[in-house]
């Protein structure tokens, strides 16, 4: 078993870089703080005897050789960039638990047949640069290096410039790096494990995800002198669609999700009937077929609402990730490790996207979830229990050892 205290201490030390007053972390991708975080993790890798490779999008692989040079590495990792008001565990836990696996193998003098690698991927969060999960996305060919390089932050700085500036633009062509299997340990980012009082979530799949921008265009007018029957109130029409988004989520239990997270009302003045409302729609489900049906329902509803109300209503899909079932070999490796170690467990489908869904396009992949307090993440108050983090890392150790053959 791994050294839980060492894992915890490393998490706390990394969390000092970009620490916020409320106990969170702000370490946006490719900033000076990201560089400091990367340097610290790389220094730890070197101290553990690992050799470092950086690819052209700044993904870092830290390698412990195996006994059989013909085998591809068993890789585990995640990301160390955070949300603007992020926590200490999201991503960082996945990277540092992989490092803790290596440290444990070193301590116990265990050799594996396949090499073991600790990876961290560039800009998973997507807060500073879109698209999200950028490093793993380029790595698996979901979009091109040039596309990623050209992404700009709000100040107009590009990914390429910033990678160069912090010294993390490597030589290796992304993807030109074999992977035998990929594991990622992560806080659940949801309430399911805590609600069921379980320690380990075995993750069979990640929900597919469709993101949309919806715009309702009415006619801005003064709230007093404009009689109800002469109004073209964009917000009233928008609220109907917002309710339908949730209704669609509810029609597809247990994995359907329908969320409106972002709303912009124009001109947003107390006594002006809104002339335009823009809002986001986030639909998720576990199979492509179910997600397609949800997609069809929201499009039909929007079209009907435009027709019935006479207002302008448009909806445009802006992102799509297909549902991602993980490879049975990896899922079962996690399940067996959990059972062997005797932790309480349940299957938890991941509702959130992770670097693992891109890694899964290239190699068998699997994830391990541990509970996070109140299901909260992407928040400075994000929290997790040391014994849960230790348990997840133990499961990771055993699953990797099974795949890497000790």
Ligand X SMILES: NC(=O)NCCC(=O)O
Residue nearer to a second copy on the CB measure, 178 or 310: 310
Going by C-alpha positions, the residue among 206, 279, 285 that lies closest to residue 249 is 285
Please state the closest distance from residue 322 (CB atom) to a second copy, in A: 14
Contact in structure between 75 and 12 (CB atoms under 8 Å): no
Among 198, 354, 388, 398, binds ligand X (CB under 6 A): 354
Q: Does 257 bind a second copy (CB under 8 A)?
A: yes
Interior CA angle at 179 toward 356 and 87, to 5°?
A: 30
Residue 111's beta-bridge partner residues?
none
Q: Does 269 bind a second copy (CB under 8 A)?
A: yes
Q: Does 154 bind ligand X (CB under 6 A)?
A: no
Q: Does 224 bind ligand X (CB under 6 A)?
A: yes
Residue 182's beta-bridge partner residues?
75, 365
Q: Does 239 bind a second copy (CB under 8 A)?
A: yes
Among 6, 147, 240, 278, binds a second copy (CB under 8 A): 240
> Of ligand X, a second copy, none, which one does residue 53 interact with (CB within 5 to 8 Å by kind)?
none
Measured between alpha carbons, how far is 231 from 218 in angstroms, rounded to an integer? Answer: 8
Q: Which residues contact 24 (CB under 8 A, 6 or more apart)?
A: 82, 85, 86, 87, 88, 379, 380, 381, 382
Lay out the site mask for ligand X across 163-202 (x = CB under 6 A, - = otherwise). Answer: --------------------------x-------------
Residue nearer to ligand X on the CB measure, 166 or 206: 206
Q: Does 352 bind ligand X (CB under 6 A)?
A: yes
Residue 312's beta-bridge partner residues?
217
Please state the closest distance from residue 296 (CB atom) to a second copy, in A: 19
Please state the closest distance from residue 232 (CB atom) to a second copy, in A: 11
Stretch that binds ligand X, among 6-14, 57-65, 323-331, 349-357 (CB under 6 A): 349-357
Q: Which residues of 27-61 are buried (b: 16+ CB within 10 A; e: fewer)?
A: bbbbbebbbbbbebbbebbeebebeebbbbbbbbb
Please state the closest distance from residue 321 (CB atom) to ligand X, in A: 8
> Of ligand X, a second copy, none, which one does residue 215 interact with (CB within 5 to 8 Å by kind)?
none
At residue 202, the 3 state secondary structure works out as strand
DSSP 315-346: EEEEEEE--EEPPHHHHHHHHHHHHHHT--EE
Please state the closest distance from residue 214 (CB atom) to a second copy, in A: 12
How far, in Å, are 205, 285, 296, 323 from residue 250 at the CA level?
20, 11, 15, 18
Map the footprint of ligand X across residues 245-284, applying CB under 6 A: 271
How far, in Å, are 63, 376, 377 from residue 86 at the CA level?
28, 10, 7
Residue nearer to a second copy on the CB measure, 99 or 237: 237
Among 160, 284, 388, 403, binds a second copy (CB under 8 A): 284
Q: Which residues of 63-101 are buried (b: 16+ CB within 10 A; e: fewer)?
A: bbebeeeebebbbbbbbbbbbebbbbbbbbbbbbbbbbb
Q: Does 132 bind ligand X (CB under 6 A)?
A: yes
Measured between alpha carbons, how far is 274 from 354 in angstroms, rounded to an integer? Answer: 37
> Of ligand X, a second copy, none, which one does residue 142 interact with (CB within 5 to 8 Å by kind)?
none
Among 58, 218, 258, 323, binds a second copy (CB under 8 A): 258
Please state the closest distance from residue 121 (CB atom) to ligand X, in A: 12
Give me 169's structure tokens. 């633009």
Stretch that binds a second copy, among 69-77, 169-177, 265-273, 297-305 (CB under 8 A): 265-273
Q: By rule CB under 8 A, what count of residues binds a second copy?
A: 60
At residue 354, the 3 state secondary structure works out as coil
Residue nearer to ligand X on the CB measure, 71 or 352: 352
- Label residue 291 left, alpha or beta by phi (over 0 means left) and psi (-120 to 50 means alpha): alpha
Sign for the CA dihedral angle at 284, 396, 186, 318 comes to negative
Site residues (CB under 6 A) for ligand X? 132, 189, 209, 224, 271, 352-354
Site residues (CB under 8 A) for a second copy? 188-192, 195, 207, 209, 211, 220-230, 233, 235-236, 239-240, 242-243, 246, 249-250, 253-254, 256-263, 265, 268-274, 280, 282, 284, 350-353, 375-379
């Amino acid at each position: 078993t791994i050294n839980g205290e060492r894992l915890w201490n490393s998490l706390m030390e990394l969390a000092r870089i970009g620490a916020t007053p409320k106990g969170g972390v702000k370490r946006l991708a490719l900033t000076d703080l990201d560089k400091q975080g990367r340097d610290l993790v790389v220094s730890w890798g070197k101290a553990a005897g690992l050799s470092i490779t950086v690819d052209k999008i700044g993904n870092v692989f830290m390698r412990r050789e195996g006994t059989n040079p013909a085998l591809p590495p068993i890789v585990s990792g995640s990301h160390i960039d955070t949300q603007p008001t992020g926590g200490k565990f999201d991503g960082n836990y996945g990277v540092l638990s992989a490092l803790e696996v290596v440290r444990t193998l070193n301590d116990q003098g265990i050799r594996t047949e396949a090499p073991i690698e600790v990876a961290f991927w560039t800009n998973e969060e997507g807060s500073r640069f879109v698209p999200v999960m950028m490093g793993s996305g380029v790595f698996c060919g979901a979009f091109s290096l040039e596309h990623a390089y050209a992404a700009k932050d709000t100040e107009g700085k590009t990914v390429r410039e910033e990678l160069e500036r912090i010294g993390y633009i490597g030589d290796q062509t992304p993807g030109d790096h074999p992977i035998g299997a990929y594991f990622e340990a992560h806080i659940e980012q949801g309430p399911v494990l805590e609600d069921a009082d379980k320690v380990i979530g075995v993750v069979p799949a990640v929900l597919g995800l469709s993101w949309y921008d919806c715009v309702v265009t009415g006619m801005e007018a003064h709230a007093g002198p404009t009689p109800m029957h002469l109004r073209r109130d964009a917000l009233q029409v928008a609220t109907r669609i917002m309710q339908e988004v949730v209704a669609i989520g509810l029609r597809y239990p247990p994995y359907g999700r329908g969320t409106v997270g972002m709303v912009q009302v124009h001109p947003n003045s107390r006594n002006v009937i809104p002339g335009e409302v823009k809002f986001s729609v986030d639909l998720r489900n576990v199979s492509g077929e179910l997600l397609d049906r949800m997609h069809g329902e929201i499009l039909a509803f929007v079209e009907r609402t435009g027709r019935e109300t006479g207002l302008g209503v448009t909806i445009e899909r802006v992102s799509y990730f297909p549902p991602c079932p993980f490879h049975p070999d990896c899922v079962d490796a996690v399940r067996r490790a959990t059972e062997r170690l005797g932790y309480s467990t349940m299957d938890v489908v991941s509702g959130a996207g992770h670097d693992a869904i891109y890694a899964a396009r290239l190699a068998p992949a699997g994830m391990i979830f541990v509970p996070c307090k109140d299901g909260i993440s992407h928040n400075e108050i994000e929290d997790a229990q040391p014994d849960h983090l230790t348990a997840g890392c133990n499961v990771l150790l055993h699953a990797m050892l099974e795949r890497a053959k000790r």
